[in-house]
């Protein structure tokens, strides 16, 4: 048995059992409350720069497979569980979680008190940490943690965005969509394609004139990792696209739209990560059970009420979860409708995007 340690930046120290790769993992330690979907979590680019703690006690019991990946590879820096199941059973399974992480160079630690760890993060806030199976002392690990950059103020999008454009085509396209890749998940592309959208995915740095040159019916702004504030180059591009085509943003895309429309963002104490967040649709009055993965949020007080209508609110802490422009074809949500924990509570948002694109396309005169 390989021993491993988890050391947080405030000196909190856990000893457990190593699994996955024999590597050190450095990142912001956060927790996810989902009971299933650990492979989707591991491969979500929004987790770049983070060590993820799963609150579900046993993880790995249904193995891993190629189809459940949300991107080409894992993006978590490290993985923390109470128990990593050595046995997996599922007709779709291809390999164990241990083998999967080892093959992708991701370090994990198990056999620690994850309840105590999560309570600590809830009380003190998300903080940097390190997973190590080396012989380093607590003091040595602590120094390495404190030298690691913080999430706030760092640009992680450049490290996860595609380097080249690619297409996610459909046989009989109804709409042409350009999707900015800030860390896009495959299931978002599947949801758009299932509704007849021929999608071209472009790098985060793509200029607005190049996007418009593709003559899309709509522009999608994807999820992604980290702090939106350092992404001024994206915000400047989006300012030139507002009003030119319908815009639909999810997660980081929502935050970037908030900044584009003059709002401000702030860092949550420990973020929202999991598949059981209750969100109220302020337009319909319905409650949606939603999937989240974000550590930052848009400040609703910073948005101009004359131009922006708040559409969704988190019932746990009243965090803003969605808004739309009162006169332009622009709307966004903070959560992930494609993850479908409801299971279908939020899929209407993709249909709403189609309705907005259809209405905009049918206008007699279209500028841009």
Catalytic annotation, pick one of 70, 288, 321, 338 = 338
Q: How far is CA 140 from CA 9, 162, 216, 282, in A?
A: 12, 36, 53, 50
3-state helix, strand, coil in the chain (%, to 5): 25, 30, 45
Residue 91 DSSP code? T
The CA angle 217-218-220, to the nearest 5 degrees, is: 155
Residues in the chain: 368
Say whether 338 is catalytic.
yes
HSE-up of residue 127 (Cα within 13 Å, Cβ side): 22
Active site residue 336: yes
Rounded CA separation 168/197 (Å): 9
Distance between CA atoms of residues 136 and 88, nearest Å: 33
Pairs from 311-317 (Cβ < 8 Å, separation ≥ 24):
311/281, 311/282, 311/283, 312/279, 312/280, 312/281, 312/282, 312/288, 313/279, 313/280, 313/282, 314/272, 314/277, 314/278, 314/279, 315/278, 315/279, 315/280, 315/287, 316/272, 316/277, 316/278
Residue 120 bears catalytic tag = no
CA distances to 14, 22, 128, 152, 276 from 135, in Å: 14, 12, 20, 30, 39
CA distance 275 to 34: 5
Which run of H or of E encompasses 122?
Answer: helix 114-124
Upstream peptide bond of 121 is cis (omega within 30 degrees of 0) = no
Judged by phi (left if over 0) then psi (alpha if -120 to 50, else beta), residue 332 lies in beta
Catalytic hit among 84, 191, 197, 251: 251
Both tokens of residue 290?
A: 């939603």
Catalytic residues: 251, 336, 338
């Amino acid at each position: 048995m390989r021993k491993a340690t988890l050391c947080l930046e405030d000196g909190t120290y856990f000893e457990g059992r190593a699994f996955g790769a024999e590597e050190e993992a450095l990142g912001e330690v956060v927790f996810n409350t989902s009971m299933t979907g650990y492979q989707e979590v591991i491969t979500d680019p929004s987790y770049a720069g983070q060590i993820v703690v799963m609150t579900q006690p046993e993880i790995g019991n249904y193995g891993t497979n190629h189809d459940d990946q949300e991107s080409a590879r894992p993006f978590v820096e490290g993985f923390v569980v109470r128990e990593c199941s050595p046995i997996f059973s599922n007709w779709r399974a291809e390999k164990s979680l241990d083998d999967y992480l080892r093959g992708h160079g991701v370090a994990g630690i198990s056999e620690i008190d994850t309840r105590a760890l999560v309570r600590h993060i809830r009380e003190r806030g998300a903080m940097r940490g390190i997973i190590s199976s080396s012989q380093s002392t607590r003091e040595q690990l602590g120094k390495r943690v404190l030298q690691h950059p913080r999430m706030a103020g760092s640009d992680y999008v450049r490290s996860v965005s595609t380097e080249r454009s690619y297409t996610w085509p459909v046989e009989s396209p109804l709409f042409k969509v350009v999707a900015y890749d800030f860390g896009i998940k495959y299931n978002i592309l599947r949801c758009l394609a299932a509704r007849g959208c021929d999608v071209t995915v472009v790098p985060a740095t793509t200029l607005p004139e190049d996007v418009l040159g593709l003559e899309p019916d709509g522009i999608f702004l994807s999820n992604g990792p980290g702090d939106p504030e350092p992404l001024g180059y994206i915000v400047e591009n989006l300012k030139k696209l507002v009003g030119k085509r319908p815009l639909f943003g999810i997660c980081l895309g929502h935050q970037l739209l908030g900044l584009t429309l003059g709002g401000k963002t702030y860092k949550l104490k420990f973020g929202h990560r999991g598949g059981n967040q209750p969100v109220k649709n302020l337009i319909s009055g319905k409650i949606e059970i939603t999937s989240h993965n974000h550590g930052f949020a848009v400040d609703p007080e910073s948005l101009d009420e004359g131009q922006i209508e708040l559409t969704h609110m988190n019932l746990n802490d009243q965090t803003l979860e969605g808004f739309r422009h009162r006169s332009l074809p622009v709307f966004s949500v903070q959560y992930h409708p494609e993850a479908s924990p409801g299971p279908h509570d939020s899929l209407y948002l993709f249909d709403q995007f189609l309705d907005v694109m259809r209405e905009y396309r049918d206008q007699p005169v279209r500028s841009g």
